[in-house]
Structure 1
Amino acid sequence: MATLQGPRSLTARKSGPRGEIVLIFRQLFDQQSSTYTYLLADSATREAVLVDPVFEQVRRDAALIEELGLHLLYTIDTHVHADHVTGAWMLNRRTGSRIAISAASGAEGADRYLSQGDKVAFGTRYLGVRATPGHTDGCITLVLDNETMAFTGDCLLIRGTGRTDFQGGDAHAMFRAVHNHIFTLPSACLLYPAHDYRGLTVTSVDEERRFNPRLGGELCEDDFTGYMTNLHLAHPKQIDVAVPANLKCGLAASYPAQIAEPDWAPLTCSFAGIWEINAQWLEENLRAVEILDVREPDEFSGPLGRIPLARLIPLGELARRAAELTKERPIVTVCRAGGRSAQATVMLRQAGFEQVANLPGGMLRWRAEGRVVENASM
């Protein structure tokens, strides 16, 4: 097991009439709630599903989906979460994705309610639904069509299980669900939980059958229920906010912590977390912003030219010269191809500048699009 450093990737293949279909897979993480979100897509059709999205990470998830050129068909919550608000409602508004959750969840506002044996298709692939109650009545496990991967929500964790002491939890039901619907999968099937608090990322059916200290090996149902009865855990900090919101599939009106979006220009946020500006808008509003060119002096006066009204501060000098810039106008950073200027936005935000955006593609794209320049010789 390894500590998660970023989105995990996996390439899986499935034989079909047209040959092998590549499965696009990403494992994403929310630090605040220790929640894993899973993106799966068919590489041929670009159709995708997102499992257990987090409200505060909607911008990140939407950026990844756009950058990979995917069409999000469904968000699926494995249960009504108590430690974070789902991003299902917000992603529905942003992408048109349908909301899916267990029919036993009690949640309102979903487009599709899932039951044992249902299939959620995306392209030529699908996730099969298995009812695995115990943490809540509406917990489900999602199994990939070829049974090489399963997403166990808060039912089975890595060397642990979800708690059973609130939201209709039932330790007996959980023990039976795990043994009847998860441990019956192939031994090599990889299991991906909704949470982990130690940086562990994936386990397998065989590992949990053998080594799970709560229900593996020769442990019986009474052993498990005795263990769970004596956990004495504090309730999740966000439970009073999260559960009501998630019973409405994350309806934003139920959740006070809205996602603030910059409104000073048409901006998009990349998966790397960099705000990027629309080039057409920038060309039409050069005087409304401060254009900061972070190339070297010879580039600034070189053949690519520069954007009119641009100010030069090389990236290597920016940290010590940031105080020369004003916070009265938004700052747009630019360089040759967009890399150094992206780093400049990070440095400026660390220095307290809130209205900052990068020009993606830099002067190369700006020139290729035929936009206004000065001092150019190319």
Structure 2
Amino acid sequence: MLVFRQLFDPPSSTYTYLLGDSDAGDAVIIDPVFENVHRDTALLRELGLRLVATLDTHVHADHVTGAWLLKQRCGSQILLSEASAAANADRLLKHGDRIPFGTRHLEVRATPGHTSGCLTYVLDDHGMAFTGDSLLIRGCGRTDFQQGSPGLLYRSVQDQILSLPPECLLYPAHDYRGLTVTSVAEEKRFNPRLGGAVDAADFAGYMNNLGLPHPKLMDIAVPANLRCGRPDGSATVPQEPAWAPLTCTFSGVWEIQPTTLEERIAGSHADDIQVIDVREPQEFTDALGHIRGARLLPLSQLAGRANEIERGRPVVTVCRSGARSAQATVLLQKSGFKEVANLAGGMLRWRAESLPVEDGGN
């Protein structure tokens, strides 16, 4: 079965797409964003998918790709256009190439015009296409830098995208209004730049008079993307927490596993970690019991009593199932705590793994 997820980066209004074959367990990610690598790897892990490749639709000017960082984390290959002249790619793509993931594949179509290296990725059944900036929802990418050309873009869109079946769904690299998907039939009828009776001369006249300012991050993003997102000396790489082995969930919560926490509090690191139990008082001493050394601070009181928790030591929040304590991590982070993690599965997991408790039943 095909797995499909559309993800969004608010600062750059970038869409990232994950496609996977659930039977084979292989997946690809289109247009990853550097700052969202934790999110993307968490989603892959939760869906049980193995990332085989990252695909960029073009050398972006408004964000840095996460391709290089995902390769370091997942062992995935970096793929983008041979016309991009980018370094650090594992495979440079040309028109007509195929990109397999499990039993499915994407077809590569060269669609230059926004940049010289723009590609559109078309799913094997022609039911979906990922158009980058070549075709946006009721619009298209600009053509006034990075070897852009109105004439090239017009031909690319007409010949390679709008020639797909009318029902083919089109997914762009960006949308600034919250729109998520369109179709070939819609864009042929309603795209004011490229649809209807618009010809190449109409399109060129429109594009040559946009008068847009350059993207704010262009001077940073383009050089970084020509390295496939590999940081230079001035770049900050998202760091894993150093105080314990943690896992970030797709919902953005850092978690610690019960056995890892037990090892920490039973060993020489016992004084390094604060365990905050956010259940109600009667739960603290019920059949589940509580973790030795844990401090009771109910979630309903946490926001007003956060100043009672030391800021210089990491905090692990605990509840029955992990739901309330996940919310507690969010509240503590909003209060300025930097090193906070949720106990995965809460006391239910803790007891299921036969870890020691105080005041609990057998």
TM range, smaller chain: over 0.9
Corresponding residue of 1:12: none
Once residues 300 and 194 of structure 2 are traced to their aligned partners in structure 1, the CA distance between those partners, rounded to angstroms, is 56
What does 1:1-378 correspond to in 2, within 5 Å? 22-253=1-232, 256-286=235-265, 287=270, 288-378=272-362
2-structure distance, mates of 1:189, 1:300: 56
What residue identity is the alignment partner of 1:115? K
SS at match of 2:153: helix
Percent of paired sites with the same residue:
62
Contact conserved, 1:300 with 1:312, CA < 8 A, in 2?
A: yes
Q: Cα distance, 1:366 vs. partner?
A: 0.8
On the 8 A contact 2:35/2:238 being kept in 1, the answer is yes
**CA apart distance, 1:253:** 2.3
Partner amino acid for 1:57? N
Cα distance in structure 2, aligned partners of 1:331 and 1:257: 25
Following TM superposition, by how much is the alpha carbon of 1:254 offset from its aligned partner in structure 2, in angstroms?
A: 6.0
Cα deviation, residue 261, structure 1: 2.6
Q: Give the secondary-structure state (helix, strand or coil) at the position aligned to 2:51.
A: strand
1:278 is displaced (CA, Å) by 3.2
| Letter aligned with residue 343 of structure 2 | L
Query: Which 4+ stretches in 1 moved above 6 angstroms?
Result: none
Greater displacement, 314-323 / 354-363: 314-323
Report if the CA contact (8 A) 1:241-1:255 is conserved: no
Count residues in correspondence: 357
- CA–CA distance in structure 2, aligned partners of residues 368 and 281 of structure 1: 15
1:145-190 Cα shifts (integer Å, max 9, x gaps) = 0001000001000000000000000110000000000011000100
Instruction: List alignment gaps of at least 5 residues for structure 2.
Output: none
Tell whether the 8 Å contact from 1:33 to 1:83 is kept in structure 2 after alignment: yes
| TM-score of the two chains, using structure 2 as the length reference | 0.97
Q: How much does 1:108 deviate?
A: 1.1
Shift of 1:343: 0.4
CA RMSD of superposed structures (Å) = 0.9
2:114 and 2:146 in contact (8 A); partners too: yes
> Which residue identity does 2:176 align to in structure 1?
Y
Contact 2:258 2:349 in 1 (8 A): no
Question: Cα gap change, 1:254/1:153 in structure 2, threshold over 3 Å: closer, same or farther?
Answer: farther
Question: Residues of 2 paired with 1:241 and 1:261: CA distance?
Answer: 24
Q: What is the CA–CA distance in structure 2 between the aligned matches of 1:319 and 1:74, rounded to whole Å? A: 43
* Structure 1 residue 284: Cα displacement: 2.0
Listed as ranges, the gaps of 5+ residues in structure 1 are 1-21
- Kindly provide the amino acid, as one letter, of the partner of residue 364 in structure 1: L
* 1:166 to 1:271, Cα distance in 2 relative to 1, 3 A: same
Q: What TM-score do the two structures reach when normalised by structure 1? A: 0.93
Structure 1 counterpart of 2:291, one-letter code = I
